[in-house]
Structure 1
Amino acid sequence: MYNEELKIYHSSYIRNARAIGVLWAIFTICFGIINLVVFIQPFWIGDSKDTPMTGHFGLYRYCLGRGLTQTLQCEGRLDDFTTIPSDAFKAATFFVGFSFLMILICIICMLLFFCVHAEKVYKICMWLQIVSGLETFVVFVVA
């Protein structure tokens, strides 16, 4: 009788551990998508064309309206760090990119569930996500 109860608890534990692993993977993928959008999106905050000084800025790029035609002149490219307007935004761009890289490595490491003990995979992903979270925190402090 005691052995059967132990088997029931063990199977319940394994099922719950797998569910937590799947949820962790889903939330990691969602965080990776958010991180990618922050990294790739060239502008975050902007004006409409009806305001006197039309323009917008983002992590590595900013655009200003020039003249009466309200055409936007944009500066800053991701592939050339010298065009990013300030050192704070250069640092923020680097840390957001590195944070996304850590999340991407974490998502790839989750494939190790098929060939490595789950505890090791959890520890690897935990540390990768802690590093990614700290880098994201640094971005908020710097920028």
Structure 2
Amino acid sequence: MQVHTSEVARLYQTEFIRSARAVGVLWAVCTLCFAVIEVVILIQPSWVGTRQLHYRPGTPPPPAGTLGLFEVCLETGWPVPECRGSLRTLTPLPAFQSPAVLVCISLTMVWASVGCLCLFRFCNSATVYKICAWLQLTAGFCLALACVLFPDSWESAEMRALCGESVSSFSPGNCTVHWAYVLAMLGILDAAILATLAFVLGNRQDALLPDDAKDVTGLLLSP
């Protein structure tokens, strides 16, 4: 009976390890995808854009275009829009310097977590998961703060030139929120999910360690 119980426990642990590895691979792939999404969020000039408005015949139509952290693009040179800004030098628009810096910090944290994936061959898996979880939490917090500060900075010359004089903080005037800003808000949720999953995987890896290994790890981590 005791032998049968030990065999069941060993089989359960083997299946548990396989499942944890599969979930870990999925988490790593999603982390890499999130890092690519962060690059798109940073460089795309599609955080806000103009909407279709009815205007009187004989009057010049309002400008049409989009705006991001680094560029303002007007649909005057179709099919290639005319963009003003400094994306090549990564110089944000004056009104959006704080959101741009926060998104850059978030991007750095995410890519640092991607770089930490190489540590699985050299360090304890539980420690690597927890390091990545804290990096992803920091990335999500910075991205959330950027999403709050961005509409608070709408009272700027760039926004007024594109969206009209009715622009104010948290009121885009003749513009609407575009897909890059929505993607940034979804990135906050993605960072929270990835960080939570990393904490869970890290705690499960701790549970798989034998007692003597836990004692050694505790001695190494104790001050």
Band of TM-score, shorter chain: 0.7 to 0.9
Aligned to 1:119: 126
Identity of aligned residues (%): 37
Change (3 A) 1:80 1:104: closer
Aligned to 1:3: 6
Structure 2 CA distance, aligned partners of 1:55 and 1:3?
Answer: 67
- Once the two structures are superposed, residues 98-142 of structure 1 have per-residue CA deviations (whole angstroms, 9 ceiling, x without a partner) of 111111110110121122111011111000000001011101111
Aligned to 2:63: 53
Aligned to 2:18: 15
The answer to whether structure 1 residue 105 and structure 2 residue 105 are counterparts is: no
The answer to whether structure 1 residue 141 and structure 2 residue 148 are counterparts is: yes
Say if 1:100 and 1:132, in contact at 8 Å, map to a contact too: yes
The answer to whether structure 1 residue 63 and structure 2 residue 63 are counterparts is: no
> Matches of residues 10-49 of structure 1 in structure 2 within 5 Å?
10-47=13-50
- Once the two structures are superposed, residues 61-119 of structure 1 have per-residue CA deviations (whole angstroms, 9 ceiling, x without a partner) of 11346xxxx346543214264x6131xx1111111111111111101101211221110
The answer to whether structure 1 residue 131 and structure 2 residue 138 are counterparts is: yes
Structure 1 CA distance, aligned partners of 2:143 and 2:111?
Answer: 14
**TM-score under structure 1 length normalisation:** 0.82
Structure 2 CA distance, aligned partners of 1:101 and 1:80?
Answer: 14
Q: Deviating runs (4+, > 2 A) in structure 1? A: 42-48, 70-76, 78-81
Change (3 A) 1:142 1:47: closer
CA RMSD of aligned residues (A): 2.3
One-letter amino acid of the structure 2 residue matched with residue 18 of structure 1: R
**TM-score under structure 2 length normalisation:** 0.54
Choose the corresponding residue for 2:86, options 77, 95, 113: 77
Aligned to 2:103: 96
**Unmatched segments (≥5 aa) in structure 2:** 52-60, 151-223
Structure 1 CA distance, aligned partners of 2:82 and 2:25?
Answer: 45
Tell which structure's C-alpha radius of gyration is larger: 2
Q: Secondary structure at the residue paired with 1:75?
A: strand
Point out which structure has higher relative CO (alpha carbons under 8 A, 6+ apart). Answer: 2
